Chain A
């Protein structure tokens, strides 16, 4: 069974930094691209970032570009999100999600999310 377990969410002050982790199991981690998606409390879903299966390519939503960095350690079956210069509007439940397989990850038409982890809550507040 595919499992994704996020961790690292805490309360942090505006301007602060935080690193989220996502531990993957039940599938060959380095065969798949991975995403982060977030959901502000009581709100809808917002795509945050994508990383290729080998970590060589990364993409970001405009709202986080230059502040967040996605990375992965395939030897540890782990995905990360380094979050800097945090703002109140970054407050959200952050999900990791499995993306497309390595043979087609960079093509239009493959970037749906399945499955998702249970999420980790980041609160940015003074």
Chain B
């Protein structure tokens, strides 16, 4: 099983500042990585797939980068609605053995 490790567990950032979230895979997942945002009481929402492609309707302040085992989600200028939990997910296996990171909580500083 590919283990996904996110860091930090909690990130405190002020509105308007940049946030950088990391995700590391225990083995290469190529660019087969997605990022999701989850707000309290809501379902996750797809932000990024293919490591760097923004999903439909996702603002340009969200960007993804990386390949292989190291990935980053960057939020360029935090808005109040961006404070949430973020998960990475790899989908590099067939048959599927899909795994998620444990999440990073982005909180207001």
Interface residues of A in 83-126 (CB under 8 A from B): 95, 106-119
Closest chain A residue to B33, Cβ basis:
A112
- The 7 closest A-B CB pairs, nearest first, are A47-B98, A111-B91, A114-B46, A116-B43, A112-B34, A45-B100, A112-B49
Instruction: Give bound CA distance, A45 to B85, whole Å.
Output: 11
Which positions in B face A, CB cutoff 8 Å?
A: 30-32, 34, 36, 42-46, 49-50, 55, 87, 89, 91-96, 98-103
Task: Kindly report which residue of chain B lies nearest to residue A119, judged by CB atoms.
Answer: B43
Within the complex, the shortest CB–CB distance from A40 to chain B, in Å, comes to: 12
A109 adjacent to B32 (CB under 8 Å): yes
- Some 18 contacts from A to B, beta carbons below 8 A apart, are A44-B87, A44-B100, A44-B101, A45-B89, A45-B100, A45-B103, A46-B100, A47-B100, A59-B95, A95-B43, A106-B94, A107-B94, A108-B92, A111-B91, A112-B91, A113-B36, A114-B55, A116-B44
Our count of residue pairs bridging A and B at CB distance below 8 angstroms stands at 62
Indicate if A50 sits at the interface (CB-CB under 8 A).
Answer: yes
Complex partner residue of B30 from A45, A50, A109, A114, CB under 8 angstroms: A109
- Which residues of the other chain, B, contact A109 by a CB distance below 8 angstroms? 30-32, 50, 91-92
Find out whether the CB atom of A47 lies under 8 angstroms from the CB atom of B96.
yes
Chain B nearest CB from A21 CB (Å) reads 16
Residues of A within 8 A of B102 (CB): 44
> Chain B nearest CB: distance from A79 CB in Å?
15
Distance in angstroms between the alpha carbons of A46 and B93 in the assembled complex: 15
If A44-B87, A112-B46, A114-B46 are given as contacts, then 10 extra A-B residue pairs at C-beta distance below 8 Å, sorted by A number, are: A45-B44, A47-B98, A47-B100, A108-B92, A109-B32, A111-B98, A113-B34, A113-B44, A115-B45, A118-B43
A45-B100, A109-B30 known; A117-B43 Cβ under 8 A: yes
Give min CB distance, A44 to chain B, whole Å: 5
